[in-house]
Amino acid sequence: MSLFYEFRLEHLDELLRSAQLAGYLYTRTRWMALPGEPPVDDTDVDDWIQRFVVLQGSCIFFYLRSTDISPQDSVLLEEIVEAGRIPSHKGVAGDEGWFSFYITSCHGVRFECSSQYKLQ
């Protein structure tokens, strides 16, 4: 195994050992509308990307893959000003569906997250 891959695996091992929660979610990022602007209707836009999300300490990190060394984005828990459930971006078929939620930072960035579920 190359030294590069060994380093990445060691990083992943350390990350998972210190994380309170880690796993893959489908995510997308939006800017909040400015005052007076109408909300953007993007319900027909399917730009969800599967990312590896890590809750570690007082921060949520967004990685493209679990083996990435650096996160693509992050948000401190103290910067979250709003959180809630959003209507499913995909339909429910039988015993399968999607649970979706958002968090909004004080900087006006809205992180939307979604995970597929299957009823047991």
**Which pLDDT does position 1 carry in this prediction?**
54
- Amino acid code (one letter) for 61: F
Q: Tokens 């796993």 belong to which residue?
A: 23
What are the tens digits of pLDDT across the range 38-57?
776 666 667 889 999 999 88
**Which pLDDT does position 62 carry in this prediction?**
95
Per-chain mean pLDDT for the chain: 82
**Which pLDDT does position 59 carry in this prediction?**
93
Structural domain including 35 reads: 3-118
pTM score: 0.75
At 109, is the pLDDT very low, low, confident or very high (cuts 50, 70, 90)?
A: very high
What's the total number of domains in the chain? Answer: 1
Q: Is 67 left (phi over 0), alpha (psi -120 to 50) or beta?
A: alpha
Return the CATH number at 37.
Answer: 2.30.29.30
pLDDT reading at 89 higher than 60:
no
